[in-house]
Structure 1
């Protein structure tokens, strides 16, 4: 084996330019594949981390029946206790959604307000100018910082934020007119805006475009203003009477670990409830990102295939240039398998050199890609848009070696089958 390595290195030194260009082709191919796959991996991981770091990824929003004869599918206090007893469930809280019209001057909002427990309101992050989140008399509205984009002027059809160019914080402490869609008899009531959720200037999520209030205060308020003992939004039984227990529109179930979300979703669906969970979106995003990653890898693979063709061309040329040397080696008793191994080893060395150098340079390109992405997309410092796991680096080197050996197989086989007299005759 020693003489084989020695002959390989001697031949590569004699043909420095050809060897250098062949290795350069492998280097470019490896850089293309590794860098493009690294971008795909990095973007995918960054999106996953962003969602997994959020508590909402482990939250399942459950919707129950709000009418008809399906009392077993309605969400009541006992239902919440049943959800809480499920394995892997860490917490549950009910929600009550009511459709309303809110008017502030010439701007109106037609949508929902959601009552959630005060304990959940306390977990939200508010702007510094926020005052209060609850009251013992009337519900206090907690608005998302992007809700003003949902208020529009019916005459101009322009939204509040576009026309007035003011933030939601300017509404804190003001009173707005609120009327319930399910109660035509109720006159609009004055409700105060007590707080605004701080979701970030450029962030759009569920909280940033929602309006919340204290659930207990909302229930108490509806009980006082309702007529005939029927609360607005509450379903009626087959006899037209309200149910004894308060019926919530939904519940939020928090699972202890993301790995258990799918199993809890299945249990809830088997119980007849409708579920919504961000993990479903995460799974969909991952599927499409894998497709993008595959596409990027395919683009990079084109450069690597060109490099493999270059190796095959180099090895073929090397065989024809060294026919006399091959003849001499055969006359001296060199075995055909050893002769084939000689050329395969040379191809493997070219692949290994190109693979190692390509991977090392890929780390440099990774740093450049990260810096450009952070600057272009105004990302936080330290964000890794490109990631090169050790498996990718090792796979790139091994892949380059194997492809190089495959490219050198047919030239090596041709050399091993040359007859000694035919080879020497070409001298």
Structure 2
């Protein structure tokens, strides 16, 4: 008997028992749809978690700050190792460290242009390693050693210019920046002074030339202005001189970070995310106040993986029930077709042909049920995503969308069905059908032809 004859015979046999076949297929449909939708929710959570992690910035970078190190158990604090050139050399020698970038904040300084100022943090960096930390401009270029008074602006600064003399001190730039980085004169001012005209006034100013701007979606450095380390040190020396003079005259002065540290911060690039924890522990043993985002990432990833297992398990139970339904249908089919099986054996049908007929019927039930189940899965997924995208944050689904990465004004996809899941569901449902039909098929081949023919 050819494979085509086997297939056609199996389809005819299923069609003769339409109601039972449809009900069995419906069970597989529900089981397949359940597991696909559950897994799609898990994939949606994983995708949104991944997006949140990307917004957190580079995960293979460790941040070292000159702040006191607190013991979580006792609450006691101790001074960290100073961030200086000796610390840089020590960190560079650590295994898995590929790049180290010192950073120096410019204190008590303000960026201004025309009558506008901006909320930004001016940071001195080493231009030789700036590109190692995935800092890329959307226009222009990064700093080089020869750019003495050049600057690279964060992408968010364009929306933060404000007029300090205005009665409305809020941010005035929502869509269009009032300052053109490529055309307008931009300066750094220290020692704020009061003036009667509309322009901000400072005791000393430094002209800077914007040579690049970062992506507006770069949330980590969006409000930083990068300048060369030597330029930052020069501005800080002048600012310190003014603060010392002000203090001598009875004014108030303050500083940030450890007084023994040369740098405000050190970034450490690790060769692989898997090694971040090891490097972070090594830095802590050297008495550095080292912090990495992986400390927060690992619990998030573990939570998502646990949720995926739970959701997949719930769907698998439905599919297991459907598999029992297929086995039940095939066993009942044997009892109804005992005489038919006996006749097939008498006229020369081989044991393998009979087994193939029952296995094919079981596989077709699984395949048809899986196909219809996938169709329902897409419909359910579309409904879930449509409902979750509505700005109804008081509802459970709105809250779920928020927890899974949806922000106000964004459309959060909390159910994702990739092509591989569709193919896997079809294959799995067919395999479930074959496995469920194996016992009934084996049982059919063991029937005695003479006893089967005598069966009424």
Matched-pair contact (CA < 8 Å) for 2:102–2:265 = no
Q: Which residue matches 1:347?
A: 362
Residues 197-235 of structure 1, C-alpha deviation per residue, up to 9 Å, x if partnerless?
Answer: xxx9xxxx9999xxxxx99657556655668xx987787
Tell me if 1:317 matches 2:332: yes
Match of 2:12 among 7, 10, 35: 10
Match of 2:123 among 117, 132, 135: 117
TM-score normalised to structure 2 length:
0.61
CA RMSD between the two structures? 4.3
Tell me if 1:426 matches 2:426: no
Residues 48-98 of structure 1, C-alpha deviation per residue, up to 9 Å, x if partnerless?
Answer: 12321443545422145769xx9993212553576579853374414699x
d(CA) in 1 for partners of 2:68 and 2:11? Answer: 80
Q: Which residue matches 1:393?
A: 422
Deviation of 1:130 (Å): 3.1
Deviation of 1:316 (Å): 1.0
Q: Which residue matches 1:328?
A: 343
**Structure 1 residue ranges, 4+ long, deviating more than 6 angstroms after superposition:** 118-121, 205-208, 230-235
Tell me if 1:288 matches 2:288: no
TM-score normalised to structure 1 length:
0.65
SS in 2 for 1:55: coil
Instruction: Describe the shift of the 1:90–1:367 C-alpha distance in structure 2 as closer, same or farther (beyond 3 A).
Output: farther
Give unmatched runs, 5+ long, in structure 1.
98-113, 140-172, 174-199, 209-213, 236-241
Count how many residue pairs are aligned between Structure 1 and Structure 2: 335
Residues 367-417 of structure 1, C-alpha deviation per residue, up to 9 Å, x if partnerless?
Answer: 222111111547556542211222222221111111111111221121111
Residues 161-198 of structure 1, C-alpha deviation per residue, up to 9 Å, x if partnerless?
Answer: xxxxxxxxxxxx9xxxxxxxxxxxxxxxxxxxxxxxxx
Matched-pair contact (CA < 8 Å) for 2:32–2:373 = yes
Matched-pair contact (CA < 8 Å) for 2:343–2:449 = yes
d(CA) in 2 for partners of 1:74 and 1:297? Answer: 50
Name whichever of 334-343 and 10-19 sits farther off.
Answer: 334-343
Instruction: Describe the shift of the 1:276–1:121 C-alpha distance in structure 2 as closer, same or farther (beyond 3 A).
Output: farther
d(CA) in 1 for partners of 2:279 and 2:192? Answer: 36
d(CA) in 2 for partners of 1:131 and 1:58? Answer: 39
Q: Which residue matches 2:84?
A: 76
SS in 1 for 2:312: helix
Tell me if 1:412 matches 2:447: no
Matched-pair contact (CA < 8 Å) for 2:88–2:100 = no
SS in 2 for 1:73: coil
Q: Which residue matches 1:374?
A: 389
Equivalent residue runs for 1:101-250 within 5 Å: 117=123, 122-123=153-154, 125-126=156-157, 128=160, 130-131=162-163, 135-137=189-191, 217=236, 223-224=244-245, 246-247=261-262, 250=265
Deviation of 1:18 (Å): 1.1
Instruction: Describe the shift of the 1:221–1:35 C-alpha distance in structure 2 as closer, same or farther (beyond 3 A).
Output: farther
